[in-house]
Amino acid sequence: MRTRHAKRAGLHTDRMDVLQALQVCAMPGAPGTAAPLSDALSQPDQSSHCQSAFPHTPKRACALPHNHVLPSSSSALPSEMTSDADRQLASSFARLPTELLSRIARPLSTTDFCALRSTCKLVDHKLLNEFAYEFFRKKQFMMTSASLQALKDISNSRFSDYLSHVVIGTDQLFNSKWDGSITIDDKRKYRATADEQKLFGHIGCASKFEDAIAGLSRLETLDIRDFNSATRFRDGQFAQWRSYGVAELRKAGTVGFGNLEWATCIYQNILLGAAAANARIKSLEVISKRNGCLHDSSLSIAKPMAPNLSSLLSGLTKLHLDIMANWEDLKFVGLPNLCYLLQNTPNVEWLRLNIDMALSEYDGTEDKGWIGFLQWLAKEPPSSDVIAKYTPAPTFELKQLDLGRIVVSPDRLLAIVAAYPSLKTLALSRSTLTEPSGTTTPPADAGTAYLVKRVLTGLDNTTVEKFIPRALIQRTSEGRGDVQWISRGTTKDSIQLRGQPGQSEFKDAASLISFRIQTPACKSMSVSSLIADYYPASDDVSASDDGGEGDEDESDGGESNGDEDED
């Protein structure tokens, strides 16, 4: 998989490849004889030559993944085209094979890509899947009437069959500009939209969202996020996928990402709206690059739960939540609303919980509320009044569990793993491994390396096949304010614990687990022997590319999630 910089750098090369391919396609004789570009556009279909022009690129490499299922369509042209077919076939572009048109479109900017599609209906028909997959498979909106109306228009168009991932940004309007460069109409529009968002915060907008997604038969994912994806490579190095409508509103004022109250309003309204629309989504994601997007109280659901909401939650197989846990939650109350939500998602297979525990204020003690939640997640019997008041233990059969920004001991982490015999992947991100206060078992100088080794030892007796430690935090003995960040340089490597029967799975453990510990004095030391003594040198350890979204932030995976004409 190419990096973001490599993708951007490759656009210029792709443009040169397109010109060379056009020349090769036009050659009547042996390859290697140059032909004018104008001649290339007038030659008949020679797709076999086109393929030889790109020996490094498989057929439709710039188009759709091989496993992506497109809406069914006939190879015949749409009926409205047939009357004009002869006339349009005179177009040089219309006579090019679909593979070559896709290659031409690949390095173009969004504006140029749209212009290419507009040359004639035949070209539009050939590039429809390519265009729709990039710009309408995943799309981002904001909570305004204009943006939701755009979503509704898409749901009633031919692109509705492509849209499977709807992103709602927490974009919120703050202060308008009052200089002479802003027109009166722009000021009025901004002010009206800001007032509308305030009204949404009071009375809700679930019915508007319900109406907007009612026509999306292939909707699978609802996603709330407080950031923009920087993967819009087609339009330059700094281009981002933004919510529909943001560019226009920024002409007249400030548009930023809202606070926790606004994120809570969005979460509750899209959940109720999707339930009212009888959406059959498989994934619900709340992703934050800031300090948690929701509180436990944000997850509150009226009891008894409405049947349509219960049906929506029961259909989820993937649940990602970013939560800010406040001091009272950790000390006394716990996370009752999160527990109630998880108890009503029995079919979740991939659970990711980023629970920001305000680590800078953590004093090392075990708070009843937090330990109660960990015990509940591990399906342990109640040991305190806090956990005794929780809902019944979760019933889902997890295959992947991602925990981020938490404080946990190896024993409690392993207890959670043991509660899910179907678990195959465990990820731990930006978290602190620690021992309960008063524990004397670890050596005096034991740190995160020792605790990670304990986790690896315990995982040997479970069904987990892959362990992914991303960025672990180690606290020093000088005080709770001193933190050591432990990272392995890349978030894509993982520790493969076991593989196919009969194969050797462990090799070169020391080079794989090469942590760099940054001390408070800004000195680095290597602890590459972290598990070398646990896995002998003759064993086999392999790194694999984890295809998951990780902690984010890393969430986009190169997918587009904005609109093609706004930003």
Sign for the CA dihedral angle at 464, 470, 475, 480 comes to negative
For residue 373, the model assigns a pLDDT of: 87
Token pair for 507: 């090799």
CB-CB contact of 109 with 235 (8 Å)? yes
For residue 555, the model assigns a pLDDT of: 39
CA-to-CA distance for 494 and 515, rounded, in angstroms?
Answer: 13
- DSSP-derived pairing of the beta strands 400-404 and 425-429: parallel
CA-to-CA distance for 366 and 364, rounded, in angstroms?
Answer: 7
- DSSP-derived pairing of the beta strands 138-141 and 165-169: parallel
Cis peptide bond upstream of 304, omega within 30: yes
Which residues does 471 contact at the CB level (< 8 Å), separation at least 6?
Answer: 429, 430, 485, 486, 487, 491
For residue 498, the model assigns a pLDDT of: 58
Q: Which of 165, 65, 72 is nearest to 549 (CA)?
A: 165
Token pair for 488: 């392995």
* Structural element, H or E, at residue 327: helix 327-328
pTM for the model stands at 0.73
For residue 24, the model assigns a pLDDT of: 36
What strand order describes the sheet that includes 471-475? 407-408, 432-433, 471-475, 483-487, 516-518, 524-526
| Dihedral angle of Cα 483, 486, 489, 491, to the nearest 10 degrees | -100
CB-CB contact of 539 with 508 (8 Å)? no
Q: How far is CA 492 from CA 89, 427, 528, 553, in A?
A: 48, 11, 18, 13
CA-to-CA distance for 141 and 155, rounded, in angstroms?
Answer: 13
- DSSP-derived pairing of the beta strands 253-257 and 318-324: unpaired
**Own/partner long-range contacts of 333-336 (Cβ < 8 Å, ≥24 apart):** 333/296, 333/369, 333/386, 334/368, 334/369, 334/370, 334/372, 334/373, 334/386, 334/387, 334/390, 335/296, 335/369, 335/373, 336/296, 336/389, 336/390, 336/391
Q: What is the pLDDT along the chain (567 residues), one digit of tens a residue?
A: 445 555 544 544 454 444 444 443 433 333 333 333 233 333 333 333 333 333 333 333 344 554 555 554 444 555 555 555 555 555 778 888 999 999 998 888 888 999 998 888 889 899 999 999 989 999 999 999 999 999 999 999 999 999 999 999 988 887 766 666 778 888 888 888 888 888 898 888 999 999 999 999 999 999 999 888 877 778 777 777 888 888 888 777 777 787 888 899 999 999 999 999 999 999 999 998 876 678 898 999 888 888 999 999 999 999 999 998 877 677 777 888 999 999 999 999 999 999 887 654 445 556 777 888 888 999 987 666 655 566 788 889 999 999 998 888 899 999 999 999 999 999 998 888 887 765 656 554 556 777 888 888 899 888 998 888 877 776 544 444 334 445 444 334 456 665 533 332 333 333 333 333 333 333 333 333 333 333 333 333 222 233 333 333 443 333 334 444 444
pLDDT tens digits, one per residue of 373-432 = 888 999 987 666 655 566 788 889 999 999 998 888 899 999 999 999 999 999 998 888
- DSSP of 97-153: -HHHHHHHHTTS-HHHHHHHHTT-HHHHHHTHHHHHHHHHSEEEE-SSHHHHHHHHH
Q: How far is CA 553 from CA 226, 545, 548, in A?
A: 10, 17, 11
3 state DSSP class of 256: strand
- DSSP-derived pairing of the beta strands 171-176 and 407-408: unpaired
CB-CB contact of 168 with 270 (8 Å)? yes
Helix residue spans in 421-562 (DSSP H): 448-459, 509-512
Task: Give me the phi and psi of 433, to 5 degrees please.
Answer: -90, 130
The angle that helices 307-314 and 260-276 make with each other, rounded to 10 degrees, is 100
Token pair for 157: 């168009």
Helix residue spans in 348-486 (DSSP H): 368-377, 385-388, 410-418, 448-459
CA-to-CA distance for 558 and 524, rounded, in angstroms?
Answer: 33
SS3 per residue for 142-206: CCCHHHHHHHHHHHCCHHHHCCCEEEEECEEEEEECCCCCCCHHHHHHHHHHHHHHHHHHHHCCH
Q: Which amino acid is present at 343?
A: Q
Token pair for 307: 């049947």
Q: How many CA atoms lie within 13 A of 387 on its CB side?
A: 18
| Tokens 């792709």 sit on residue | 14
Which residues does 337 contact at the CB level (< 8 Å), separation at least 6?
Answer: 296, 297, 298, 299, 300, 301
Question: Which of 130-164 are b and which e, b meaning 16 or more Cβ less than 10 Å from the residue's Cβ?
Answer: bbbbbbbbbbbbbbbbbbbbbbbebbeeebbbbbb
Which residues does 198 contact at the CB level (< 8 Å), separation at least 6?
Answer: none
